[in-house]
A = this chain, B = another copy of it.
């Protein structure tokens, strides 16, 4: 049987003569993307042939005019001899990567919350120390949580002085029988979406992940509307706090149910979120952020007890938030930076966090700049006609047959489509451009095709019709929302580069983060002009950096120290104070940009009606 060698993994598989390359790769568990079901339409399964042992390119592959000679579509290739292929980053299926670590290799767990087994000396006539002293001295700890202290005498005697203690730093949180698991929860509080990771702190492994819309959405889509609501009435701040706490509590309960543990076994919670989300979580007045010069109420990490704000966890559980950078650049960005590791690297790099707030970070030498831009909820799938969170039934990946306008899509969970999530929207808009459904100004074309319809008086492009007969569309209004969002992000990137005096060519890495349902396809993001045109090899997707950072913080005290250092080091730029912002922004609303010379490869791809390749 021929031998297939896969780079860069170095995996070797033996495959029967003539077998399909895509099927072989999938069977072997290799991470490669494919949306159209192997029909050669979606063009996502591109592989590079290093040493050839494949059949001749099919006629379908030859039609993909941008495929250079050494590239093949895996779905079209059959194995006829020993072959070595490389799977480019752009063909990687990124769903599920949310659980992988950007810095897994150099990340050594050293959690603040840990357990210690101990046998405590019993009181006697010659050892008259108090219960608290004998516990503290045996465990070499400094303090005891006040709720534990109140129950301590009964607990120690019930346990007959033989126990496992749970400690957070120098504080004893609980004493209990030895050997049971204990947990932490990392929460990424997005303006639109909240993601909770239940982490087994004994093993360091993620036990379950749950996400949902932030319950505050009822009071506005973006941070500005949340602030406005909070400042409008004295009870409103409390209402926003209780909304997000309720969301988090529900996610914790679901995650605990799935992992078959009790919330009372959760001893630490780590939160990352932007400045407004972090403030609202703890119930802090946001008026400072509301008025120029928009300073945050606090910057350092908050450390407090979960019970203070009514979180579902052990009575003595400790909460820890990521430090903030400025009023509009928050702890989520600090988390992104830590996950990317860019702060420790010498090369010039950028980081783009795609969310309701789009945040951009630029590192050049010792300089780290960050800015935030109100992208709105469009790129998280919310606020669109058929937008939805990245969950089962969400269209997460799209390609369009440029001739027929047939749409090939993949839903999360491979179920009947119910809507479209962030990564799906970016794909859809990109392919609508490639297929000529959208023009440079974002107008839906008057094509004579059943997919172009009128709904509620506005034009729309039908992506799918589900089993219930409901149409899932991208409407003209959706496109307009999307244009504003993507222009904001692009403008932030370009202005930071300009302020730092760095040219795009000098940027050797662009980290893309975001808590979408699935990873955004960077090729699509470039087509639409959401991010500057760069070689795909420079783009590194780190997934939900905010959530990953929260998990890392749960597992490592060093990460917390690093976070404080990074938060102090990054200089926040208020783009509203940059004169060119408005003009730049307007130019960037076009697809990919009014100045098409900034996107030569994108323009070529669009003119050739083909996606971008490596």
Contact = CB atoms under 8 A, between A and B. Distances in A.
B572 A128 contact: yes
Given A150-B282, A157-B287, A282-B150, A297 B132 contact: yes
B288 A128 contact: no
A297 B128 contact: no
Given A293-B125, A304-B146, A130 B285 contact: no
A82 interface: no
Contact of A150 (B146, B150, B284, B288): B284
Nearest to A308: B146
A411 B275 CA distance: 65
Contact of A288 (B123, B288, B298): B123
Interface of A: 123-125, 128-133, 144, 146, 149-154, 157, 282-288, 293, 295-300, 304, 308, 324, 326, 572, 577
A282 B300 CA distance: 31
A283 to B, nearest CB: 5
A295 B150 contact: no
A293 B146 CA distance: 24
Contacts of A283: 150
A614 B282 CA distance: 66
A300 B130 CA distance: 9
Nearest to A241: B150
Given A149-B284, A283-B150, A285-B150, A130 B298 contact: yes
A297 B152 contact: yes
A153 B577 contact: no
Contacts of A304: 146
A131 B298 contact: yes
Nearest to A135: B298
A149 B297 CA distance: 8
Nearest to A571: B128
Given A130-B298, A150-B284, A125 B326 contact: no
A131 B285 CA distance: 11
Contact of A130 (B129, B286, B287, B299): B299
B132 A299 contact: yes
A299 B130 CA distance: 6
A286 B144 CA distance: 17
A334 to B, nearest CB: 14
Given A130-B295, A157-B288, 5 more contacts: A130-B288, A130-B296, A130-B298, A151-B285, A152-B285
Contacts of A132: 297-300
The 8 lowest CB-CB distance pairs between A and B, nearest first, are A132-B298, A153-B288, A123-B295, A153-B285, A130-B299, A130-B296, A153-B287, A150-B284
Nearest to A156: B288
A566 to B, nearest CB: 16
Given A130-B299, A298-B132, A298-B133, A124 B288 contact: no
A284 to B, nearest CB: 5
Contacts of A150: 282-285
A324 B577 CA distance: 60
A70 to B, nearest CB: 51
A498 B366 CA distance: 75
Contacts of A288: 123, 130-131, 153, 157
Contact of A295 (B128, B149, B285, B298): B128
A280 to B, nearest CB: 11
Contacts of A284: 149-150, 152-153
A153 to B, nearest CB: 4
B286 A153 contact: yes
A368 to B, nearest CB: 15
A112 B326 CA distance: 33
A222 B230 CA distance: 52
